[in-house]
Structure 1
Amino acid sequence: MRLHTAAILLLFGLGIFAAHTVKGSASSQSMRKFSCVTLSTKQLNIRNLVSYEKQQVPTNAIMFVTAGGIKICVSPDQRWVKTAIKRIDERRVAKRK
């Protein structure tokens, strides 16, 4: 009987430890809802872009969000991408004033 009680307590303790560990690791990392895996090669219309996010994992990319909420990933090395980022930043500053 004593061995049976010890086994139950051990399993209970391991269950609590596992639940706490999983909860802690999941809440300590921010999980992205969308991540760039492939990059578009098309140049986008800058006027339709409302925001962007820089991403380095799993690939170095800029994720643009259009006025319609569509997320499009592109290479950050292109000249038009740098221009688009600059324009979006300028719009943000103008809105704050």
Structure 2
Amino acid sequence: MKLHTAAILIIFWLGIFAVHTAKGSVGSRPMRKFSCVNLSTRRLNIQNLVSYEKQQNPVDAVMFINSKGIKICVSRDQKWVQTAMNKIDQKRTTKGK
């Protein structure tokens, strides 16, 4: 009787393992990309910005990433946004040299 119960438990755990392996662990799944939905209306301090990404969907925006890793979305059509993007691009080319 004990052998029968042990065999059932082993089959059960092998089934769980197989399902978990087929789905993949949480660490192996691709992360969802952060996208802008709400836009900040505040002007950001350009000195604190380290990177940016352009986005068109679901809204036309620029996502700035500051030195703390915080992502802030703003409208592209503001003059300071273009200036900030140019400054970040200049920093990138200077570091690459």
TM-score by structure 2 length? 0.67
Q: Secondary structure at the match of 2:63?
A: strand
Gapped runs of 5+ residues in structure 1? 1-29
Q: Structure 2, unaligned stretches of length 5 or more?
A: 1-29
Runs of 4+ residues deviating >6 angstroms? none
RMSD: 1.6
1:13-92 aligned at under 5 Å gives the runs 32-92=32-92
Q: Deviations over 1:31-82 (max 9, x none)?
A: 7421100100000000000000000000000000000000000000000000
Percent identity over the alignment? 65
- How many residues are treated as equivalent by the alignment? 69
TM-score, with structure 1 as normaliser: 0.67
SS in 2 for 1:40: coil
